[in-house]
Amino acid sequence: MPRKRMPSTRIVAALLALLAGIGAGLGAARAAPVDDALAHFAADKFPETDVGIDALVASGAPTAPAVLGALSDGRLFFDPGSRKVYVVDAAGTLDDAATGAKAADVTQGGLKKVRLNNAIRSKIAAAVGGLDLVSPDRTKRLAAADTAFAAHDAKARGAVEAALAKEEDPAIKAMLVQARAAIVAASGTGPEAERLDAIATLKARGDGDALNLVDQAGAAPDASPAVKAAAASAAAAIRFTLAVWQALQNAWYGLSLGSVLLLAAIGLAITFGVMGIINMAHGEMVMIGAYTTYVVQQALASSALGGASLLVAVPAAFLVAGAVGIAIERLIIRHLYGRPLETLLATWGVSLILQQLVRTVFGADNRPVAAPAFMAGSFHVGGLEITAGRMWIVVFTVGVFAALQIVLRATPFGLRMRAVTQNRRMASAMGISTGRIDALAFGLGSGIAGIAGVALSQIDNVSPNLGQSYIIDSFMVVVFGGVGNLWGTLVAALSLGVADKFLEPFAGAVLAKIAILVFIVLFIQKRPRGLFALRGRAVEA
C-alpha cells in the first residue's frame, strides 16, 4: 500500500541522511547540512526534492550552484543503495555532489536520475536566483535581482532581504527593494505599512509588471481600505504612465514610418512638386539606389572599405540614379512638357522597362544587403524601445531634407531652378539655360530618390518591385502636402506616418492604410491643392 509505505521510506531516508551526516561530519564540519540536503534528493520524491533545494541553498555549500545546475539539466544522479548523490559533468565523469571531488569508483550504470517536474524546475530557477543574489559578479547580481522581481516568489523573500542587507551597489539595491515590494504585493499578506510601502515602490517603477502587482495587492482578501485606496491610485497612476509611454512609442513608430515616406517622397517633391513632372518611374529610381547599394556592397566586400560600404553607396546611388534621371529627362520627358497625362504614361513605360532591366540583370529574387554593425540592435529610452536602424533612417532623412533645402535656397543652381519654376520665359530671358536646369533638377530629384533607396535597402527587400510599393504612397504624400512645397511634404509625410501608426492598434495595418488613402482622397476634394498651397504668382506659372 503506497500510503502506508510513505512514512517508512521517509524514516529510512531520514535515517540514512543521519547516517550520511554522521559519516560526513567526521570529515568536515560544514559537510553535514550539505549531506542532509542532498539526502532529500535521494528520496526520489518530488516533495522531498523540493525540500532538498531549500536545504541546499540554506547550507551555503560551494558546490550548490553546480548541483542545482546539474539538477535542472537532468545530470544529477543518486545511488539507491548508498543514497549518495552524484553530478555527471559535461565530459560524463561523476563527481560527488557534496564535495565536488571525483568519484572514480562509481559507475553511472547503477545510479538513478533525480526526477524533475515543472514545479521543481521553477523552484530551481528561484533557488539559482537566490544564489546569484549574493554572487560576487555584479551583472549576475543585477540579473538575479531582476529575476527575483519577475518571479516575486514569497519563498525567495529571505534571500532577497539577506542580499539587500549586504548589497552596496545603489542600482542593485533599488532593484532588490522593488523585488521585495513585488513579493509583498504578490503575497497579499503582511502588515499594512509594509504593503503601503510596497505599493509606493511599485508605483515609482511604473511598468506593466508593477501594474499587475499593484492590482494583486489591492485585491488581497484582507487588504485594509487604506491599502485598497493606495493600490487603486497607484494603478491609475501607472496606467497613465503606461498610456503616455505607449503613445510615445506609437509616435516614434509613426515618426519612423513618416521618415521612410518622406525619404521616398522627397525626390518626387522636386520632380512633381517643383517641376510639375509626373514621374511614375520615381519608384524605380529608389529601386536603382537600392541595387546600387547592393552592387557597392558586393564590390567592397573583400576590401578594407567593406564596413563603410553604405557611406560609399550614398554618393554612388545619387550619381547612378541621377544619371538615369537625366537620361530619361533628355530622351523622353523633354518632349512632353506641357502634357502631364502623356508624361504620366511615358514614365510608366520607363518604369516597366527599368523593372524588367533589373530583373534581367540581377534576377527576380531579393538581393541580400547586409546591415552595418551600428545599425543593428535596439535600446531603451525610458519606456521606449528604439531600433538603431530606424533611428539612423530618421537621422538620415533629416540630413537629406536639410541638404536639399540648402541646395535649393543657398546655391546658384537652386536659385536658377526656382527662377525657371516660377517664370520660365523670364528666367530664359535672364540668360538661364532652362533646358539644362530642367535636366539637372530632374537629375537632382532622381538622385535623391536613389539615396532614399540606400536607406530603404536596409528595411525592405531589394527586389525589382521595390519601387512599386512606394510610388502611390509618395504621390499621396506630395499631393497631401501641397505641390511645390518641401515643408508641406515634410509635414504630410510625418503626419501620415503618425496617423497610420495610431490607427493601426484599433484597425489593423491594412484597414489603417485604407483609411489613410480614403482620408487623402476626401482631403483632396476639400483642398485640391494640398495642406500648404502655393499662393500668388507661382500658381499661375
Instruction: List residues binding other proteins (CB under 8 A).
Output: 276, 278, 280, 332, 335-336, 338-346, 348-357, 359-360, 468, 472, 475-476, 479, 483, 510-511, 513-514, 517-518, 520-522, 524-529, 533, 539-541
The DSSP bridge partners found for residue 415 are none
Query: Least distance (Å) from other proteins to the CB of residue 419?
Result: 17
CB of residue 475 vs other proteins: minimum separation in angstroms?
5
Q: Which is nearer to other proteins, 218 or 497 (CB)?
A: 497
Q: At closest approach, how far in Å is the CB of 516 from other proteins?
A: 9
Q: Which is nearer to other proteins, 370 or 531 (CB)?
A: 531
Closest CB to other proteins among residues 56, 476: 476
> Closest CB to other proteins among 220 and 280?
280
Our CB check for other proteins shows the closer of 93 and 356 to be 356
Rounded to 5 degrees, φ, ψ at 114 are -75, 120
Give the separation between CA 127 and CA 159, rounded to whole angstroms. Answer: 9
Give residue 281's identity as a one-letter amino acid code: A
Return the number of the residue (142 or 520) whose C-beta is nearest other proteins. 520
Q: Position of cell 524514516?
A: 11
Between CA 222 and CA 228 the distance in angstroms is: 10
Q: Which is nearer to other proteins, 349 or 505 (CB)?
A: 349
Three-class SS of 510-533: HHHHHHHHHHHHHHHHHCCCCCCC
Strand partners, 96: 86
Residue number with CB closer to other proteins (85 or 479)? 479
Residue 499, by phi and psi: left (phi above 0), alpha (psi -120 to 50) or beta? alpha
- Reported as type and span, the H/E element at residue 417 is helix 412-422
Nearer to other proteins, 10 or 513 (CB): 513
Query: At closest approach, how far in Å is the CB of 503 from other proteins?
Result: 14
Closest by Cα among 115, 145, 126 to 53 = 126
Q: Which of residues 228 and 359 has its CB atom nearest to other proteins in the complex?
A: 359
Smallest distance from other proteins to CB 484, Å = 9
Q: Please, what is the minimum distance in Å from the beta carbon of residue 251 to other proteins?
A: 24
Q: How far is the CB of 426 from other proteins (least distance, A)?
A: 16
By C-beta, is 429 or 522 nearer to other proteins? 522
Supply the DSSP string of 67-116, one letter for each residue: HHHHHHHT-EEE-TTT--EEEE-TTS-EEETTT--B-TT--GGG-EEPP-
DSSP states along 195-216:
HHHHHHHHHHH-SHHHHHHHHH
Spell out the residues 6+ positions from residue 245 whose beta carbon is closer than 8 angstroms to its own. 382, 383, 384
Whole-number Å distance between alpha carbons of 31 and 22 = 10
Q: State the minimum distance, in angstroms, from the CB of residue 528 to other proteins.
A: 4
- Give least dist CB 365 to other proteins, A: 15
274 burial type by CB count under 10 A (0-12 exposed, 13-18 middle, 19+ buried):
buried
Q: How far is the CB of 463 from other proteins (least distance, A)?
A: 15
Choice between 491 and 520, CB closer to other proteins? 520
How far is 329 from 333, CA to CA, in rounded Å? 5
The secondary structure of 20-49, three-state, reads HHHHHHHHCCCHHHHHHHHHHHHCCCHHHH
The phi and psi torsions of 387 (rounded to 5 degrees) equal -85, 140
CA 361 to the chain's CA centroid: 35
H or E stretch covering 154: none
Residue 16: how many CB atoms within 10 A of its CB? Answer: 17
Nearest-approach distance from CB 217 to other proteins, in angstroms: 41
CB of 128 to other proteins, least distance (A): 45
Q: Is the Cβ–Cβ distance between 194 and 184 less than 8 Å?
A: yes
